[in-house]
A and B are shown apart, each in its own frame.
Chain A
Amino acid sequence: MIDKYTWWEKLLIYTGVLVFLTFVLAPFIEAFMVSLRPIDAVFRVPYRFFTEDMSFAAYFTMWENVPKLWRYILNSFFISCCATALALACIIPAAYSFSRFEYRFRNPILGGFLAINMIGAAVLIIPLYKLMLNLGLLNSYASMIIPGAAFTVPTGIFLMRSYLLRIPKELEEAAYVDGAGRIYTLWRVILPVALPGIVVVAITTFITAYAQQFLFALTFNSNSDLHPLPMGLYQFFGRQRIVWNELMAASLVGILPVLLVYVFLQRYIVAGLTAGAVKE
C-alpha cells in the first residue's frame, strides 16, 4: 500500500493515538506511581509526579501486611484456569454443533444463549446462592469456578462458532469420505485447525473469569484460604485507612498472570482474529 499521508496528517494521526493511549494507560501509570510512594505521600498537595521518597518498599511490605496474598494470587489463577477449562469443554462441542448441524430450534437456542448473556451475574446472584446452598458447594473452589465458567460460555460459543464456520466444510467431508467418524474428525482435523480460535476463546474466557471472580467469591465463599485476589485486595482496606500504595502494588502484581498469558498467546490472538480474512 502506498503511504499517502502528508506530514501534518501524520502528525494528526499520531496525536490522536497519543491521546487515546494516554486515556487508556494513565490509570495504570498512576497506579504504578502510587505503589511507589509512601502511604503519607499518596494524597500530597500539590500533586507531584516524581518525588525523591519513591521506593519499591510497598512491593515488600504488602506480603507482610496481607500474609496470604501469594495464596490469593494463586487462587485467582487456579480458579480462572479451571473456569477456562470447564468453559472450553462446554464451548467447543456446543459451537461445533451450532456451526455444523442442522436441527430444529438451532437458531432460537443460539439466540437464547446470547439473551442469557444480557442478564448480568449480579441479577442471578440470589438464585445462584440458593443453588449453591442446596448443592452443598458453598465455601469451595467449585462455587466460584462453575458460575465463572457458566457466564463465559455464551460469548465463547458465539466466538467459537464464527471461527468454526470459517473452516471449510470440505475438510470434514474429506475426512468423512476417508472413513473418519465425527469424533475422530473433530479431534484430529477440526480442533487442530481451529487452534487459533480456541486460544482466542480461551484467553477471553480466562480474562473474563479473572475479572468477575469478586462477586462470586464475595457471595459464595467465606473461607479466606480460598479467596481469589480481588477479595484479598479488600484486606488492604483497613479500619482507619486504606493502604493505597500496597493495594496498587498488589493489584499490579495480580495482573501479572493475565499479562503472562497474554504475552505468550497474543500471536495466536492476532492470527486467530484475522485468519481467513485475506487469501493466503
Chain B
Amino acid sequence: MGQLRMDNVQKRFGDTEVIKGVSLDIANGEFVVFVGPSGCGKSTLLRMIAGLEEISEGEILIDGTVVNDLAPVKRGISMVFQSYALYPHMSVYENIAFPLRVERLAQPEVDKRVKRASDILKLHERLTHKPGQLSGGQRQRVAIGRAIVREPEVFLFDEPLSNLDAALRAEMRVELSKLHRELEATMIYVTHDQVEAMTMADRIVVLDAGFVSQVGSPLELYHRPQNTFVAGFIGNPKMNFLPATCTESDETGATVQLSNGASIRVPVAARPGLEGQALTLGIRPEHIHVDEGDLVLEFTPTVVERLGIHTVTYSTLPDGNGTFTTVLEGTAPAETGKPLGHGFNAADCHLFDGAGAAFSRTAPMADTPPSVLPTGPDHTQ
C-alpha cells in the first residue's frame, strides 16, 4: 500500500521558510502532481517525502508510519530525478539492477526483476549499452526502470520530462500514464509544466510560495479556481483579470462595473453587502468571442498570432497595466491596430474579492462529462 499523509509539514533553511505548513492526504494508487512556479517549494516538498531533505516541523506518514527520520529506502519510495542521475560507467542493466545489488539479491532474482522492468519499458535491446549511448527518452526510461525494479509503494518524479524535447515529452507523458495504470502504485510528480499536470494527474496540488494554494482534480482547478493565483496559473494562455467595482450582490450573483462603465452580472455564490468593493473579474482567453456575448469590450490588439487552428491576440489594457489575451477561431477577423469587440458570457466569468479569493461559480458546465466534473463548490479542500 502506498498511502501518504503530510501533517503541517514545514521546511526552513536557516531563517528562510520554504515550506510553510503543508497538510495533504494522498490515497494509495493516486497520481498526484505538484505544480507551481519556480521557487514555490514543490521540489523541496518532494525531496522531503523522499528523505533527501530534513523535515523542520510536522510529520510525513507513509502507510501510517511516521517516516521523518527514516532513510529513503526504508520509506518504500523511489525517485526519478530531473537529470536522470544515471551512473555513466555502468551498463543499462547494471543501472537498473543497482538498487538490487545494494540489497544483495541473488543473481537469478536480479535477472528476473531487471527483465520485468525492461519488458515494461521496452529496453531489452539496450541492456548492454552505456547511458552515454542512449537518447534522452531512453535515458529517462532507464531512470524509471531503476525506480520500478525495487517495487516501491510510492514513486516520486522530480520534473522528469523537462530535459526532453516537446515531441518526446508528449510520448513519455502517455507512457507514464500507462505505467501508472499498470503498476497501480502511488505516484507523486513535480512539474512546472501545466500540460503535464492537467493530462496525467488524478489530483493537482498547486503550490504558491510554500503554501498549498488549491488541491483538486485538473478540471476542478480549471473551472473552479479558488483564488487568482490558481486561476492565473492553470490555463494557457493565462486568465485575463479586469479590475471591477461591485454595484450589487446577493447569494446568486454579483453585478460588477468595469472601469469603462460597462456592467455585468456574474453568477457566483456571492453575499450581500459587497457594494462598492473593488473586485477582480477573470475571464479565460478561450472564452472570448468576436462581437458576441453578454458583454462586449473593445480593445485594440497589438499582436496577432495566427496558429491555423486558433488566432491568439494580445491587447494592451486601456489603463496601461496588463495585457488582454484572447484565443479566437483560426479565421477570426482580428488585425493588429484595429479595434476588435471582445465579447464574453457571464457564465464563463470568474469573480475574486479584494484578497484574491474566488466566489464559487454557480453556472453549470453543460458540455463536460459528469464523471470529471467537480461535485460542488465545497468539494475542494
Contacts and interface: CB of A to CB of B under 8 A. Distances in A.
Interface of A: 168, 170-171, 173-180, 184, 188-189, 192-193, 195, 280
Given A171-B87, A193-B88, A178 B102 contact: yes
Given A184-B102, A192-B89, A193-B89, A177 B50 contact: yes
Given A177-B78, A180-B102, A280-B132, 19 more contacts: A168-B83, A170-B81, A170-B82, A170-B83, A173-B52, A173-B79, A176-B72, A178-B72, A178-B73, A178-B102, A178-B150, A179-B71, A179-B102, A179-B150, A184-B102, A188-B87, A193-B87, A193-B89, A195-B89
A188 B102 CA distance: 10
22 contacts: A168-B85, A170-B83, A170-B85, A171-B87, A173-B52, A174-B81, A174-B85, A174-B146, A175-B87, A176-B71, A177-B78, A178-B98, A178-B99, A178-B146, A178-B150, A179-B99, A179-B103, A180-B98, A180-B102, A184-B102, A188-B87, A192-B89
B72 A179 contact: yes
B51 interface: yes
Contacts of A178: 72-73, 78, 98-99, 102, 146, 150
Nearest to A176: B72
Nearest to B98: A178
A124 to B, nearest CB: 40
Contacts of A173: 52, 79, 81, 85
A91 to B, nearest CB: 20
B77 interface: yes
Contact of B79 (A174, A193, A280): A174
Given A168-B83, A170-B85, A189-B87, A177 B102 contact: no
Nearest to A192: B89
A177 B73 contact: yes
Chain A to chain B: the 3 pairs with minimum beta-carbon distance, closest first: A179-B73, A174-B85, A178-B99
A179 B77 CA distance: 10
Interface residues of B, number: 23
Contacts of B77: 177
B68 to A, nearest CB: 16
Looking at chain A's contact residues, is the secondary structure mostly helix, strand, loop, or mixed?
A: helix
Nearest to A184: B102
Contacts of A184: 102
B51 A177 contact: yes
B171 to A, nearest CB: 23
Interface string B125-146: 0000000100000000000001
Interface string B57-95: 000000000000001110001110111010111000000
Contacts of B99: 178-179
A56 to B, nearest CB: 45
B32 to A, nearest CB: 19
Nearest to A170: B85
A195 to B, nearest CB: 8
Contact of B98 (A170, A175, A193, A195): A175
B71 to A, nearest CB: 7
Nearest to B78: A177
Contacts of B87: 171, 175, 188-189, 192-193
B52 A177 contact: yes
A173 B79 CA distance: 9
B321 to A, nearest CB: 39
Nearest to A173: B52
A219 B50 CA distance: 57
Contacts of A189: 87
Contacts of A175: 87, 98, 102
B83 to A, nearest CB: 5
A163 to B, nearest CB: 15
A179 B103 CA distance: 8
A193 to B, nearest CB: 6
A189 B98 CA distance: 10
A226 B73 CA distance: 53
A178 B88 CA distance: 16
Nearest to B88: A193
A188 B94 CA distance: 11
A34 B150 CA distance: 68
A176 B52 contact: yes
Nearest to A172: B85
B165 to A, nearest CB: 15
Contacts of A180: 98, 102
